[in-house]
Amino acid sequence: MTKFCPQCGASLNEAQRFCNKCGASLQPTTPYAAPASEASTAHQTYAPPPPASAPYGNVSASYQSAPPVQPYQTGQLPQPPNYGQNSFNLGLTTNQICSLLYLLPILGPILGLVIEPYNRDREIRFHAWQSLLLTGAWFVLTRIAIPILKFTFIPDAFVWLMNTGAWFAFFGVWIYLIVQTWQGIKFRLPILGDVAEQQAQNQVKL
């Protein structure tokens, strides 16, 4: 078997230990032994692929049938979820809310008639309307009716006393209503209470 010198490439005999041309030392050649992993890989057999008609993998083990569809019932429409977009909760009781309606004569009743879920409570709607009507009566009496008397024959001092008395009277009524509603007692004012009750019943819910 012929081999070649690794230094000069000269052709040599297999039994030679030195190169005749350059004198380089030669190592004896040994047959190449393939690693065990390569040998096992070379002799490994592979199973043939499944036919095209066969299902891929174990499909029956992992596949689950879909749940049955519920039949639609006539007359029942799906209800949309309630996310509370139009609701507002202060964490107060009904009595406390009714007291605030009189404590804040204009802003309180308007909010009580607009903000949910308080505008759904009939008791709150009643006190909201009664507070608005009481505020309107106070404004008409102290800002319009009594000041007009100054242009009549009635003395100004008497007109001032009437106006001051009206202020104290309305203030006392407001304090009384705040205390009554805080204690859970429904007090209906003459005439104004009847109108407020009617408005609370006829109020259209938005």
pLDDT for 82 beyond 50: no
* Contact call for residues 166 and 146 (beta carbons, < 8 A): yes
Pick from 44-58, 90-104, 107-121: least confident: 44-58
Q: Each residue of 128-163: pLDDT tens digit?
A: 999 999 999 999 999 999 989 888 888 989 999 999
> What was the pLDDT predicted at 52?
60
N residues, the chain: 206
User: Residue 93's closest CA among 124, 126, 128?
Assistant: 124
> What was the pLDDT predicted at 35?
52
pLDDT for 102 beyond 80: yes
Over residues 182-194, the mean pLDDT reads 94
**Helix, coil or strand: residue 97:** helix
Over residues 171-183, the mean pLDDT reads 95
Q: Each residue of 8-43: pLDDT tens digit?
A: 877 777 777 777 777 777 766 544 454 555 545 545
Classify residue 21 as left (phi > 0), alpha (psi -120 to 50) or beta: alpha
In the chain, what are the domain boundaries? 1-27, 94-202
Over residues 54-72, the mean pLDDT reads 55
> What was the pLDDT predicted at 204?
52
Percent residues over pLDDT 90 in the chain? 41
**Burial profile 41-71: b = 16 or more Cβ within 10 angstroms, e = fewer:** eeeeeeeeeeeeeeeeeeeeeeeeeeeeeee
Q: How many CB atoms lie within 10 A of CB 134?
A: 21
> What was the pLDDT predicted at 81?
41
81 against 154, higher pLDDT: 154
Mean pLDDT of the chain: 77
- From residue 190, give the alpha-carbon distance in Å to each of 35, 111, 194, 196: 110, 24, 7, 10
Over residues 111-136, the mean pLDDT reads 92
The top-scoring range by mean pLDDT among 12-16, 94-98, 172-176 is 172-176
Over residues 38-66, the mean pLDDT reads 54
pLDDT for 122 beyond 80: yes
